[in-house]
């Protein structure tokens, strides 16, 4: 899971204080040489069985940003490689000519335009999702918890704490964009970085990141472990959420231990967006360390995913992802945070996923 600080999604292993933090970040020069080695596509377990057309459709969502953006650097087996907008355009133009749903042609596209490099260090993969809440555009006896937009006086300096904001320091300033019923639900949306409100008036409001109060983040899973409420290995987000809902009075104080507070805007769209600024695709978009791997990069992950609603059970999870999000706690060349979409199943997967594995980065092979 990830603590979203810049964009959609984001989420999370709240458990041991490792809540992943999806915070948008730019692409910089790698500070260290990444140990990577060439591998052939035929050597990648599961490669031939993946639905490459889904990955291509997701990749193409990044193309407008890639061809209009600056040149970027990607870590490779040779140190680093510069990818120019012109190179992205060549690749994107090639992908645009492939018929939607044609997985065979999509697979050939990736094999002809990229070379795979396996990261020679252990991978770690978590997950995040897009929560949903009930709410209204107007306050009522049912909907009493305000959802705030970015305050005009917010700077990059520390702002009011979570406790001060929840106690009403922003009340009456016209910053409310909606009101919801469940404070735990709003906290969860802040953890994930985006979410949806099912409006009492009808329709849906999609929330996107609009800034933070620049206060330190504290993982409440760690707080609950220190309180002796639960054991470290049991502190998954579903377990934490359940405890918060069963203990509303204590929950308020526990959540306030995390001073970080997220402001939202109504994105007026149907889909969650990542730090790249493009709509996220469930189980194809992933948050990465963009100081090493730029947005738009295809990354093969070989890991395991929790089996739905079966505690402790896992299943192989091998697929091609596209880097379209970022996070302050997503650090390293083999670190990924998978966007699982929305709904109960996505919440279950995201809340329990904390898997080892390996990452294979697909680097453009020309230019």
Q: What is the pLDDT of residue 32?
A: 58
- More confident site: 358 or 327: 358
Q: Is domain 129-266 given the CATH code 2.40.240.50 in the classification? A: yes
Query: CB count, 10 Å around CB of 129?
Result: 31
- Whether the pTM exceeds 0.85: the reply is no
pLDDT per residue as tens digits for the range 6-53: 333 333 333 323 333 343 334 444 345 799 999 999 999 999 999 999
Kindly indicate the confidence band of residue 78, based on its pLDDT and cuts at 50, 70 and 90: confident
For the chain, counts of helices (H) and of strands (E):
9, 16
**Average predicted confidence (pLDDT) for the chain:** 90
Q: Where are the domains of the chain?
A: 36-124+291-364, 129-266
Give the model confidence (pLDDT) of 127-161 as tens digits: 999 999 999 999 999 999 999 999 999 999 999 99
% of the chain surpassing 70 pLDDT: 91
Task: Give yes or no for residue 325 having a pLDDT over 50.
Answer: yes
Q: How would you list the strands of the sheet with 262-266, edge to edge?
A: 145-148, 176-180, 132-136, 195-199, 204-212, 262-266
pLDDT at 30: 39
Whether 229 shows a pLDDT value over 70: the answer reads yes
In whole angstroms, give the CA distance from residue 216 to residue 65: 31
**164 pLDDT more than 90:** yes
Element (H, E) at 249: helix 248-256
Domain covering 36-124+291-364: architecture? Beta Barrel (2.40)
Residue of 135, 107, 109, 113 whose CA lies nearest to 46: 107
- Determine the Cα–Cα distance for residues 275 and 265; give it in Å rounded to an integer: 14
**Residue 236, pLDDT score:** 86
Tell me the CA end-to-end span of the chain in Å, nearest whole number: 36
Alpha-carbon distance of 228 to 222, in angstroms, equals 10
What are the pLDDT digits (tens) for 171-205?
Answer: 999 999 999 999 999 999 998 888 999 999 999 99
- Helices (DSSP H) in 5-51: which residue ranges? none
* Ranges 9-23, 55-69, 275-289, 325-339: which has the least confidence: 9-23
Given this model, what pLDDT does residue 367 score?
56
């Amino acid at each position: 899971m990830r603590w979203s600080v810049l964009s959609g999604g984001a989420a999370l292993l709240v458990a041991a204080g490792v809540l992943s933090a999806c915070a948008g970040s730019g692409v910089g020069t790698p500070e260290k040489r990444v140990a990577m080695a060439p591998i052939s596509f035929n050597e990648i377990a599961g490669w031939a069985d993946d639905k490459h057309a889904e990955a291509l459709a997701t990749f193409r969502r990044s193309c407008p940003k890639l061809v209009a953006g600056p040149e970027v650097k990607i870590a490779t087996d040779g140190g680093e490689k510069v990818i120019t907008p012109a190179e992205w355009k060549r690749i994107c133009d090639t992908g645009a000519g492939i018929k939607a749903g044609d997985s065979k042609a999509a697979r050939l596209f990736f094999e002809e335009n990229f070379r795979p490099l396996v990261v020679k260090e252990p991978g770690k993969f978590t997950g995040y999702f897009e929560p949903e809440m009930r709410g209204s555009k107007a306050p009522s006896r049912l909907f009493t918890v305000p959802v705030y937009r970015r305050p005009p006086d917010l700077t990059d300096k520390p702002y009011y704490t979570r406790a001060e904001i929840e106690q009403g320091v922003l009340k009456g300033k016209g910053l409310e964009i909606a009101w919801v019923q469940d404070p735990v639900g709003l906290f969860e949306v802040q953890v994930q970085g985006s979410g949806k409100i099912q409006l009492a008036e009808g329709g849906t409001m999609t929330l996107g990141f609009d800034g933070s109060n620049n206060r330190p983040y504290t993982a409440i899973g760690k707080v609950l472990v220190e309180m002796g409420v639960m054991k470290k290995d049991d502190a998954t987000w579903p377990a934490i959420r359940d405890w918060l809902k069963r203990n509303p009075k204590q929950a308020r104080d526990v959540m306030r231990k995390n001073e970080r507070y997220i402001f939202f805007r109504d994105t007026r769209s149907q889909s969650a967006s990542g730090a790249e600024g493009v709509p996220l695709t469930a189980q194809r978009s992933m948050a990465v360390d963009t100081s090493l791997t730029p947005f738009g990069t295809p990354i093969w992950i070989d890991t395991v995913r929790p089996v739905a609603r079966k505690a402790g059970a896992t299943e192989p999870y091998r697929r091609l992802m596209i880097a379209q999000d970022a996070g302050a706690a997503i650090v390293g060349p083999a670190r990924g945070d998978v966007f699982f979409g929305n709904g109960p199943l996505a919440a279950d997967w995201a809340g329990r996923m904390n898997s080892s594995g390996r990452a294979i980065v697909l680097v453009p092979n020309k230019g």
